[in-house]
């Protein structure tokens, strides 16, 4: 005897879907499912919508940190298998605390939303822009060679610098961002933490060298850390190859230091 199909087990009137529908209804980019559809289609629409919401930052509509980490892991895997270059940018709004302290948190939210919209317009559909946390954003650019990386990063910096933010009070703010970037080591299976740390080191430098600037590492000068060396050669018990160097102590110290707003 054939087992019953999932559709025959579903009774919509017995499911508590009001909260789910309310969540979906708050996002204008998502279409509410029609109750006239079959039970399976209706539930699939609800589930798909909730999954999409779970990957988005509610304030800016960008990818959230969870989705960012997933994209970063997939990109690392792609770089390790194909050697295709990939760039990670960390973007931080300069003096954002001053915006909140002077104009209030609603104004700060407007600035975050404006920066997010501008970021999304500066990259390709294949790229991922995420709100990393607070006033910091991350951009993952697969298949991005060095000649294009600095161009994209400068486009972002200049676009935000030239972007007026009209507040509800009638005031107009201009903000700037500092950008640090790191290329993933080609043909090396790195980790999300190590790649993010490298980009953070460059962001730290951009902040301390005057803000409103871009600093990217050079793809030719990327170092491979001890952890990455172990991933590559640990099971072979090989000595350190001449072409592999460890991350400098200074870079690690800077990454662990307190970031300037």
Which residues are the active-site residues? 135
Q: Cα(226)–Cα(191) distance, rounded to whole angstroms? A: 12
| 160 alpha carbon, distance to own chain's centre | 17
Alpha-carbon gap, residue 249 to 201, rounded angstroms: 12
How far is residue 15's CA from residue 5's CA, in Å, rounded to a whole number?
A: 18
* Cα Rg, the chain, nearest whole Å: 22
Contacts of 247 (CB under 8 A, 6+ apart): 198, 223, 225, 226
Q: What is the per-residue burial (b if ≥16 Cβ within 10 Å, else e) of 38-68? A: ebeebbebbeebeeebebbbeebbbbbeebb
Distance, CA of 71 to CA of 128 (rounded, Å) = 8
Could you list the beta-strand ranges (E) of the chain. 86-93, 128-133, 136-142, 164-166, 172-174, 177-183, 214-216
Specify whether the CB–CB gap between 155 and 144 falls below 8 A: no
Residue 213 structure tokens: 């600037």
């Amino acid at each position: 005897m054939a087992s019953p199909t999932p559709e025959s087990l579903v009774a919509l009137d017995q499911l508590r879907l009001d909260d789910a529908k309310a969540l979906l209804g708050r996002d204008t980019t998502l279409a509410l499912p029609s109750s006239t559809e079959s039970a399976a289609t209706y539930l699939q629409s609800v589930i798909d919508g909730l999954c999409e919401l779970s990957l988005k930052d509610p304030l800016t509509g960008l990818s959230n940190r969870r989705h960012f980490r997933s994209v970063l892991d997939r990109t690392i895997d792609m770089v390790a298998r194909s050697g295709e270059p990939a760039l990670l940018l960390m973007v931080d709004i300069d003096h954002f605390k001053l915006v909140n302290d002077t104009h209030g948190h609603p104004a700060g939210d407007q600035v975050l939303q404006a920066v997010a919209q501008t970021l999304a317009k500066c990259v390709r559909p294949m790229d991922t822009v995420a709100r990393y946390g607070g006033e910091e954003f991350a951009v993952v650019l697969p298949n991005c060679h060095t000649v294009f990386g600095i161009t994209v990063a400068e486009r972002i910096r200049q676009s935000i610098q030239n972007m007026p933010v009209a507040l509800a009070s009638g005031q107009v703010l201009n903000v700037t961002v500092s950008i640090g970037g790191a290329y993933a080591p080609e043909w090396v299976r790195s980790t999300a933490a190590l790649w993010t740390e490298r980009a953070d080191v460059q962001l730290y430098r951009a902040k301390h060298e005057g803000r409103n600037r871009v600093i990217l590492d050079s793809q030719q000068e990327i170092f491979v850390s001890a952890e990455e060396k172990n991933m590559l050669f640990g099971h072979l018990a090989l000595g350190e190859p001449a072409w592999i160097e460890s991350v400098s102590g200074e870079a690690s110290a800077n990454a662990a230091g307190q970031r300037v707003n």
